[in-house]
Structure formats: structure tokens, C-alpha cells
Amino acid sequence: MITKAVIPAAGFGTRFLPITKAIPKEMIPIIDTPTIQYVVEEAVDSGIEDILIISGKDKRAIEDHFDSNPALESRLAEKADQSWYKMVRHISNLANIHIIRQKELNGLGDAIRHARWHVGNHPFAILLGDTILHSDSKPVTRQLIDVYREYHQSVVAVQRVPQDKVSRYGIVGGHKISENIWEMTEMIEKPAPETAPSNLAFAGRYILTASIFDKLDETPRGKNDEIQLTDAMKALLADEKTFACIFDGKRYDIGNKLDYLKTLVEYGLRREEFSDDFRTFLKTVI
């Protein structure tokens, strides 16, 4: 069973400055709901209630969002319309949220290393705190858990991207073993289109075995002088099989501004509270 999830959310978010100067990127709202709430909900809907958020300096808003707020709650409790009260209570009761701070931002791999003592020796899920994966069928982390249950090996979510855009992503190579599952033989960060082994790109969700922690400890600083999770996963690949799952759903990367705008439009379309006229307008934007 996968019972623990780690959500790295300590990064600077430099691509989203100036808002990220004082507001965590993961708290950027999709209309009215912070990005990281969608990420936590995905973990919970996948059956995981023990969640470790890797936080950092100036990220208190994340902690506060999932904490209770007695003053606000008692004010809302007095209202005839109890829906606001229930919503606020629901957020603080969503999951068992634990927070640990990454004191120096040494990259995603380093952030994951901070989860070692919380996770122990069991396989665990990683959900990037700035990436929403929406699925109408099954939460994407649940899709990965189902693959893990079959193969008992690490599995990462991937999506097809246009061939001319592979150089923006981590790309996996390997061979197809079923309709949506690949056994990985390599992974390359941001390859040139002509050298890319496929157009299957990492999508910000992973189930990894605890062996990743030893690999992370041995991983030297790589790109941007940071400890890269991909480098440690490459080392893991030498010892253990790793699978890629082409997930059913759509990725929204909140870390870049264009994707963020598209996300707002698409989530706006899903909101029934908006008038038909407004939603018709939104459709013209897509």
C-alpha cells in the first residue's frame, strides 16, 4: 500500500515573479482555490491521507491554508448559509498534513531527501506542488498506485508532448509493455528533438521505492548546481525496474504564466456558478 505522499513546495518560483517574492507559487489561485489544494485533494482522492509538504522560507501561507482558523470559523458558523463554514472546515480536515522545511534550495532532489525519515522504507508518492493533473476518470496518483500494485516497482506519470517541444521536458525512453505502460531504459532532461528517445515527458507525479533516498545521497550536484531528482532516478534505474504510465488526464503546470492563463480559462469553464454567456466567452478564448 502507498500511504504517504510528499509534496515539494519550497522552490523560489522565479518564473512567476514578482508575485512569488512574498507569496508561494503553490498558493497561486485557480480562481479562488490555491494550486496546492488541488494537489492535496488528488492525493486524498487517491487514498493517501499522510502528506508531507516540503516547505521553505516565506511559505507560511501554505501551512496556514491547511490549518484551522478558529476566529474565521466562529464568524462563519454564525451565518445562516453554512456552506462557507463547511468549506473552511473541510480544508483543515482534508488530510494529516506534516510540514518540513528545506532550509537551502538545492533542487527538487534535495527537497525529496528531506522526506527520508518521514517516509521510512516504504514506497511513496511524489506530487509536485505547482502542477495540477486533472482527470475525469481516476485521480492520476491513483492511476500510478494501480500500476505499482501490478509491478511493485517505481512508476512515473508521463504525457505525450509535441516532438518540437521535447527540449522543455524530462523525456523517457524504453519499450512499451501495454497500452499505456512503458518499461523505462533511460531518461533525459530536456533533449534536443532529434536525440529524444520518445516524446513521453515527465508530468510531476511519481511513485518511488525508498531506494531513491540512498541514490539521492550519492547524487552530485547537476544542472543549475542543484541535486536533480532525475539524476537519482537514473541511478535507481540501474538497480531496479522503473515504469512510465501514460496517464489519463490533463496537466496544468502553474509554474509558467501561459499555462496558468490556460488553466484559469479551463477551470472557469467547469464552474457552474458562472453565467452561460461568460462561459461562452471563455470558450472563444481557447
Q: Which residues pair with 188 in a beta bridge?
A: 171
The type of residue at 212 is I
Length of the chain: 286
Contact characters 52-91, ligand UTP, x per CB under 6 A? --x-------------------------------------
Does residue 111 bind ligand UTP (CB under 6 A)?
Answer: yes
Tell me how far, at minimum, the Cβ of 256 lies from ligand UTP, in Å.
8
For ligand UTP, the binding residue among 34, 123, 129, 170 (CB under 6 A) is 129
Does residue 134 bind ligand UTP (CB under 6 A)?
Answer: no
120: left (phi over 0), alpha (psi -120 to 50) or beta: left
Rg for the chain (alpha carbons), in Å?
Answer: 19
Q: Are 95 and 51 in contact (CB under 8 A)?
A: yes
Does residue 13 bind ligand UTP (CB under 6 A)?
Answer: yes
Phi and psi at 154, nearest 5°, equal -60, 145
Does residue 259 bind ligand UTP (CB under 6 A)?
Answer: no
Give the interface segment with ligand UTP, choosing from 2-10, 85-93, 177-185, 189-197 (CB under 6 A). Answer: 2-10
Give the interface segment with ligand UTP, choosing from 4-12, 66-74, 154-162, 176-184 (CB under 6 A). Answer: 4-12
Residue closer to ligand UTP, measured from CB, 123 or 129: 129
Does residue 108 bind ligand UTP (CB under 6 A)?
Answer: yes
Quote the CA–CA distance of 76 and 88 in Å, as a whole number. Answer: 9
Q: Which residues pair with 96 in a beta bridge?
A: 50
**What is the H or E stretch that residue 172 is in?**
strand 170-178
Does residue 123 bind ligand UTP (CB under 6 A)?
Answer: no
